[in-house]
Structure 1
Amino acid sequence: SAPYVCLLPEDHPLADQGGLIDLEELVANETFVTFGGTYPDTMMSMDPALSRKLQARSRLSAANMPLAGALVRETGALAIADPFSAEQATRMGGVVFRPLSQNLTYFVSIVAAGREQLSRQALAFSDLLAAQLSARVAYVEALSRQP
C-alpha cells in the first residue's frame, strides 16, 4: 500500500511548504479534479463526508491520472493522486505533489496461485514492483516529516 498525495500547480502557495496537506482545510477554497465526477471512497478509505465536500468543489473531471495532471497544470485545480501517477505528472512539469494528512491508501496487488508458480521473469517483476513501491512510500513519508 502507498499513501495518496495532493497534486498542486507548481505556483500554488502551498507548493513550496513542507509538511502535510489537510484536505479539510482546503475544501472550502480550492477547486478539485475528480474522476468521473466522483471519488472512489471505499478504494481510497476516504471519509464519505469529506468525499461529498470535495465533489461539491469539483469543477473538472478526468478519465485518468495523466489527464488529471494536465488539468492541475493548466487550470490551477488540485487533485488527489496515487504517488506513482503524481511522480509521472511532476516529470511532465508544472505540478508538484505533497503528502496528505488524511490517511488515504492506494493498494497494489499481484494475484497468483503462489509465488512458487511464478516464472523467473514474473518473480523479477514482482520484486521490482515491491522495491519501487517501498521507495515511493519512503519518499512520501520523508516529505510528511518536513516542517
Structure 2
Amino acid sequence: MQIQRYPNTHPTYQQAKKYGLQQLSTVDGEGIIDCEAFELSKEVYLAVDEKKQIAGFLLIAQDGLLEKLAKDNLFEPQPLEGLLIQQLFVDPAFRQKGIASQLLEAAQQQQKDLYLYVSDKNQPAKKFYAKKGFHVIGVYETPKHHTFTNFKAYLLKKKIKKR
C-alpha cells in the first residue's frame, strides 16, 4: 500500500474528493462527510494499492480551523496547536489491513500534535484511536447536527513527540 500526501491544489486531491463523496454518502451512515470537509482541508493523505485503486484517505484541515472549532464548540475552550484530522476513511474492502494506521503514521511525520472529532456512537473508531494514543480533551454537543439529533462528539488529541 502506498501512502502519498497531496496539497488541495493537486489534481489527485480532486480525485480523492470525488471518491470520498461517492463512498461516504453510502458507506458510513453516521460518519457522512460532505463537500465542506474537503473545502476546509488543506491536504489529503491518500492510500492507493498496487492496482492504483484508492483504499482510503485522511484529510488535514486548513490552518486555523482547529482553533475556531475549539473556540466555537467546546464548553471549555483551550489553546490548541497542531493538525486537525477532518476525516479518516478506509474503504470497507480494505479494512482490517492496517491502512488507517499507515495513514495516521504518515500524518505524524509532520511532527505536530494530532486532533480529531469522533462521534460518541462510533465505538470502533473510539477504540481504534485510544489504541493509537489519542485521549479526550473536549466534548461537542448539539441538539441537532445536520440530520442527527442529540449529536455528541469528543475532541481527541495525540501528543506527538518531536524528534
Q: If the TM-score is normalised by the length of the shorter chain, which range does it land in? A: 0.3 to 0.5
Q: Which has the larger radius of gyration?
A: 1
Superposition TM-score, scaled by structure 1 size: 0.32
Higher strand share: 2
Q: Report 1 or 2 for greater relative contact order, CA contacts < 8 Å, sequence distance ≥ 6.
A: 1
